[in-house]
Structure 1
Amino acid sequence: MKNILAFMIVIISLVETSCHEVEIGYLVTEYASYSLDSLVVYKDLDTTEPVEQANPEYQQYLNWGYTPEQIMMYFPGVYPTVWIGGKDYFRVYNNQPWTGTSIEGVQGTQPIFARIKSIKSSDGDINKLQDCIQVYGNGVIEIPVINNVPKGRYLVSLTFWNEGWSKDVDDCFTIIVK
């Protein structure tokens, strides 16, 4: 009789614990932050087309008595000529966007998605930034190289979510448009 009673208690406890709804996945953002928490976007781009010029470093090695073969062997990456042009020429030519780093400290069941929760600014146009900004699941923020965002300082808050969870990370990234 004691064995039957003990068996029934075990069965009842197993049934009770299995009746609870199991949460799907997890999402932790308490320690979320960016190691580089700001991005500078320049409006006045220097797109001067590059021109090929003699490399002064290469010429200096020749003057010191190195042969071209020795320069190639001892100083890799030093060539007879270099391309000199505007600092933003290749960014515009390749349509390379302004990007931030990925966020650290967001953990959870994959896939994790991200979206802009809010943008604050005292001297910029939030709507124009919202029209062109993009954020990826790893928190990388991207702004097109050519945009119509006015100069100013913008503070971005993000929302991360996955299946069953959603958490906010407030005022975590600054965009400075100069």
Structure 2
Amino acid sequence: MARGSAGIVSGLTAAALAVVGFLAYQASANVPATLAAPKPKASSSAPATGHAARPKDKDHPLAVPAGSGSGTRVVYALGDRRVWLVGPGGKTVRTFAVMPSSVNPKPGVYRVSSRSGTIKGSDGVPIEHVVRFAVADGNVPVGFSAAKDDSMKSPDPSLRTGGVRMRRADGNAMWTFATVDVKVVVVP
């Protein structure tokens, strides 16, 4: 009798898992349009959610991430902590490491919205060549910048800052490349 009970329990468990899987699929397939993630827009200055880069090229780790768009653009890979300046025809002009801010933009397509030559960063550090492209978490401006002392310290997690730091030489290249309205693509 014990052997028969075990078979019944296994069968019921398998049936229950199948039903739960089916219901989960139905729920995800029937999300109202008002709750679904918006589709990416290449020409919008607002973030495009739902954008996913393809897997990184393991043979060429410094290659521009696949799925980051086309044309002249700045590509910022959050996970790699790296930026690519991509010119016409998809040719990489420069790539370099960055130090992410404590508040990051969501993956998507943005446009350079404003620039400042020399200012004090929201963390109190004197910075230069500020290239702003997004607003995250409702009100935190996000942009690339270089500390005048050439530091790339990890941001204080208690401060809500949007400064993506880079070396001064890289900041000079960014400043020359990323003028107002240049596309910035953020990938995971």
TM-score, normalisation: structure 1: 0.25
- Structure 1 or 2, whichever has the larger Rg, is 1
| Greater RCO structure (CA 8 Å; 6+ sep) | 1
* TM-score w.r.t. length of structure 2: 0.24
